[in-house]
Chains A and B, each alone.
Chain A
Amino acid sequence: MFSLEGKTALVTGASGGLGAAIARALHAQGAELVLSGTRESALAELADSLGSRAHPCVANLSDGPEADALVGKAEALLGRPLDILVNNAGLTRDGLAIRMKDEDWQKVMTVDLESPFRLCRAALKGMLRRRAGRIVNIASIVGVTGNAGQANYAAAKSGMIGMTKSLAQEAGSRGVTVNVIAPGFVETAMTAVLPEAQREKLLGSIPLGRMGKPEDIAAAVVYLASEEAGWVTGMTMNVNGGMAMP
């Protein structure tokens, strides 16, 4: 089950911890990957460690035209159409709303919401024509519950969830599925900056009693990308140790 043998996938944000874990998991199931990210050396290192079936592709997703062109670039590297798109790239610019700068709001909207839309739009054109395809968006628990200090990030991730549901309705008649994963608190560079006290408090609110591992999220991506998930679309999959059960 869940074989991705012969499938192609584009993973954005692959130079980060979560993206790399997603890439490894898809690769282990047999997929051929395009690894997109901002840090060339990290992408090259990941591609090297995967060996075959991995193409690094540096892209700056805060640039609209660059985001628009990424799917085409990926398909050129693969030499064939894209089967699976994983919108994992994202960043945070935290701060209480009353002190939040316009550019912190804008930057998060551009990278975390607008660029996934651009990638979905580009990928869907081909997927609809081919009557096949999987899109998996990576949002956040914060997009479901909100979080003080993350009005921008929560809005973008919540927007991603609404976008996913709309795209799922648009693409359903062609057998293309669009789903979104809302990870809880996962051990990555993004959460490593949390102060110890806050970390303790968070742990106390997770029924399963631990932070998530990137692999916990990657396994969910593999499922949603698989043929077996063909009757699941528009779903927000909460992978969060039980921290929120919306």
Chain B
Amino acid sequence: MNVATPSLADLAGQAKALVRPKPPAPYGMLAELTHRCPLQCPYCSNPVELDRRNVELDTATWLRVFEEAAKLGVLQVHLSGGEPTARRDLEAMIRHCVEVGLYTNLITAGVGVTAERLQSLADAGVDHVQLSFQGADAAMTAHVSNMKDAFERKLAVAREVRRLGLPLTVNAVVHRANIHQIPDFLELAQRLGARRIEIAHAQYYGWALRNRAALMPTREQVFKALEIVDEARVRLDGILTIDAVVPDYYAKYPKPCMNGWGRQSLNVTPSGKVLPCHAAETIPGLDFWNVAEHSLSEIWLDSPAFNAFRGTDWMPELCQSCERKEKDWGGCRCQAMAIAGDASATDPACHKSPLHAHLLALAEEDAAAGVDQYDYRRFTVPETSQ
């Protein structure tokens, strides 16, 4: 047995852990089953350094993770990617989730998914399907996803999902090139029989940060979009639920990112790292534990990365003294990192941040830059045969 004398730092850490209040259980888990995807959207939420197939967790490990998640208090699992249907063991995972009581939400790009596959996913017990649309027509979808016939394939998948009686959500990420299509996205969602649509303004981390000059809408576009969504919410009440991910570069207050770091949800990467949010790896120096070495419960309660920005203790004075501190939760740590170069700074999207004017200037400059070439999301070096 290996007996080590604890250092003073260890003891101090343990003492701190003893007085730390136990965080509430998470409600949701985003399971990024793979980074493989047939589409190349320039705002992909996956990291710029994508996990390759040979480092993906195996089936048995994922099943254990789902079981641990259910025990920890997770109620809903979002099966995502990349493209989750690239995993041939997806049905086994869904069946297991159903067994342990987890609600399953399949987040798919809907290309390369046959009617037979959808039937088999429905038989496995999937609860809900969220289908992404990069454009409200074929040309825009092809331009943004960099795949020629993606739109037709998505329409076919949507029809099949509804034929199977599964609830459908349309997800539309909006940015400069397609933000004018919001009314068309709303029409499309209704035509496809979706009860819910997400109008998600691109969030600038990873790939989207890299492509910001080609994606950033103008202030006029953003405010017009907000108006259209507000009006549609009233008009479509009881017909279509509209959830929006707000654009924060032009905002006064920051978004309450993840409703607080390590507060409600967690994210497991294809290789098993557990993150407080999908962009957390853009913050250098955080120690992310892996499900291969720790239980999900240990990671949620004790991992340094989850405790780094949990609660309000970490906040700078500007946030500490703010009456919105338990409303905005300090905004977004990844954005503070990207813009202020300091993950524990006030989110520059907040009007109180000394960098707020700088953020606005960046947005206006990018929106006016006229760049229309995307650096499409892809594995940086061609994947070797496996």
A-B complex is real: no
